[in-house]
Amino acid sequence: MGVAKAGNEMKKALIAAAVLSALVLVVYVQCGGFELVTYDDTSYVSNNQRVMQGISAENIGWAFSSFQLSNYHPLTVVSHMLDTTLFGDSDGARHLVNVFFHLCNVPLLFFFLLKATAKVEKDGLIPSFFVAALFAVHPVHVESVAWVAERKDVLSTFFWLSAMHSWLGWAKDRNTASYGLTFLFTGLGILAKPMVVTLPAALVLLDLWPLKRVDFAGNPLGQLFKLIVEKLPLFGLSVFSAVLTVMAQHGGGAMQTVESFPLSLRISNAFVSYVAYLGELVVPVNLAVFYPYPHEIPVWKPALAALLLIAVSAAAVRFIRTFPLGATGWFWYLGTLVPVIGLVQVGDQSMADRYAYIPYMGIYMIIAFGSSRLVREGRLSGKAAVGLGAAVVAVLLVGAYTQAGHWKDSKSLYTRALAVTENNHHMHYNYGNLLEREKDFTEAAKHFKAAFEADPSHYKAMSSLATILSRKGDPYTAINLYQRALQINPDYATALGNRGIVYMQQGKFEAALADLRRAQQLEPQHVNHMINMGLLYYMRGDNASAKEWLRKALHIDPDNKLVRKNLVLIP
């Protein structure tokens, strides 16, 4: 009878896992027809020469020995290389690899909860299913799955959840192999995305619930201390990763200064963002790939947000003995967001949907298993709970399917972001670049202007608008914009090089030479600067110097037809 019952339970679990997988595919199979977007996908993948060469010992060594775009996530970089080796330059295949990892993560979460809650739930299948279902189809998670550049989210979470599974073996019978696997998966997760540094603390929370490794009738603080001590090797990995991350972000210029983002503003934004993420969890509408950082925040907003967070945290601690699920889920949410909440500001976004991929799990657990407890206590109808849960999942599925559609190409992504946000300098600039490449200079100019009107320090948008104006025959306005851009960033080589071209067209050869020489010093391997230097010397009648610069350009780019043509024309 026991064997038959176990077989029946396993059959139900497998059916539930199949349904969860179907939910994921309904939302995300469309990604197979999507393009890469020009927001980070090009930097991480299509314009990354190492990635586009595919897997090799040399490229793997490069991935582990260097920082990429102010980050250190070599395992993710290697996964992009593997995509190239397996699928060539197929954009759709790269998207489907992301979908595959999400498709793995959903049942991993489901089966973990099913096993881990066996002692605290009479029937944990239904609440475990709904936690995984919410994770599978919540629209906020679309960014992590549908954005190839966010491979690091789905890949690191795969190792995070694998570590949780192996931790069950350690918690159950102190199996050394299980601890070793947990250490391995934690390390792999950190190599995929540094946000995994919070995993050891999350395991402590799982020890509270559902593993119940703390007896609140005894000495809970002493027991909690021992649970932390046993994870010191894991915390050691986190500290090491944190050091590497700071080095990568500081060295790449991604870490913002206190002058640009004052500490008081960061703290205010952190409190407001914690509540904003909860708002998106409940009402996931008007989602965008980029949320601009506010120039100022009314004091009442962070004050109310702080009061709410403190009140809920106090309640979670107050009822930890009778409702440990509340403490685990709530502090899971708060804690796993700490690395990306903005106290150490990286980039210029106020928040990002992708950051909620792991943190929301804690809230999902409170919702699903909290409802299950109400059903057991007779305070909620089981049928009503399941019906309501199914309706919520259905609504979220439709929302996620629609949201995923906005990721089909760059234009859809940017226009959607601009439609649902205000003063979005980043999206105006990106869309302007896209329009410029499509030769729609008039519309591109509008978006570049909107970008630096929203952010007066956006020197790149100023320079881009200046280039368009110079093409349209307005060199004086162009030069003024280049000068404004260079006042903000005197070492912006693009503005220097382009201003040099305008000076050259005006016959101001000395000014042009100064700009082009400085641009070439800042970007010594940039072929266009060398070509322009060659053209400038040719216009000055110095054919020997002109040829010298063109030969330098040809040495870097042997297949450059423009360089070869110019060399032939110069006597």
- Sequence length of the chain is 571
Q: What is the pLDDT of residues 285-300, one digit of tens each?
A: 999 999 999 989 999 9
C-alpha to C-alpha distance for 137 and 275, rounded to whole angstroms = 21
Determine the pLDDT at residue 251.
Answer: 55
C-alpha to C-alpha distance for 45 and 88, rounded to whole angstroms = 12
Q: What is the pLDDT of residues 28-47, one digit of tens each?
A: 999 999 999 999 999 999 99
Rg (CA), the chain: 27
**% of residues, the chain, pLDDT over 90:** 85
Domain positions in the chain are: 2-410, 423-569
At residue 349, φ and ψ (nearest 5 deg) are -90, 150
The burial of 57, by beta-carbon neighbours within 10 Å (0-12 exposed, 13-18 middle, 19 or more buried), is given as exposed
pLDDT at 570 exceeding the cut of 90 = no
| Confidence class for position 355, pLDDT limits 50, 70, 90 | very high
Determine the pLDDT at residue 1.
Answer: 44
Q: What is the pLDDT of residues 203-249, one digit of tens each?
A: 999 999 999 999 988 899 999 999 999 999 999 999 988 888 777 76
Q: What is the pLDDT of residues 503-552, one digit of tens each?
A: 999 999 999 999 999 999 999 999 999 999 999 999 999 999 999 999 99
Determine the pLDDT at residue 253.
Answer: 52
The burial of 532, by beta-carbon neighbours within 10 Å (0-12 exposed, 13-18 middle, 19 or more buried), is given as buried
At residue 328, φ and ψ (nearest 5 deg) are -60, -50
Beta bridge partner(s), residue 212: none
Q: What is the pLDDT of residues 163-189, one digit of tens each?
A: 999 999 999 989 999 999 999 999 999
CATH value of 423-569 in 3.40.50.720, 1.10.3470.10, 1.25.40.10, 2.60.40.1930: 1.25.40.10
Task: Extract the tokens encoding 200.
Answer: 């050891």
Report CA 444 to chain centroid distance, whole Å: 26
**% of residues, the chain, pLDDT over 70:** 97
Average pLDDT score over residue span 399-426: 97
At residue 544, φ and ψ (nearest 5 deg) are -65, -45
Determine the pLDDT at residue 121.
Answer: 80
Torsion of CA 463, 468, 471, 475, to 10 degrees: -50
Question: What separation, in Å, do the N-terminal and C-terminal C-alpha atoms of the chain show?
Answer: 96
Closest of 418, 434, 495, 491 to residue 460, by C-alpha:
495
Q: What is the pLDDT of residues 85-139, one digit of tens each?
A: 999 999 999 999 999 999 999 999 999 999 999 888 878 999 999 999 999 999 9
C-alpha to C-alpha distance for 327 and 371, rounded to whole angstroms = 16
Q: What is the pLDDT of residues 246-272, one digit of tens each?
A: 777 665 554 455 556 788 999 999 999
CA distances (Å), 175 to each of 168, 171, 180, 266, 304, in order? 9, 8, 9, 43, 46
At residue 259, φ and ψ (nearest 5 deg) are -70, -40
Closest of 309, 308, 305, 326 to residue 317, by C-alpha:
326
Which segments of 80-198 are extended strands (E)?
none
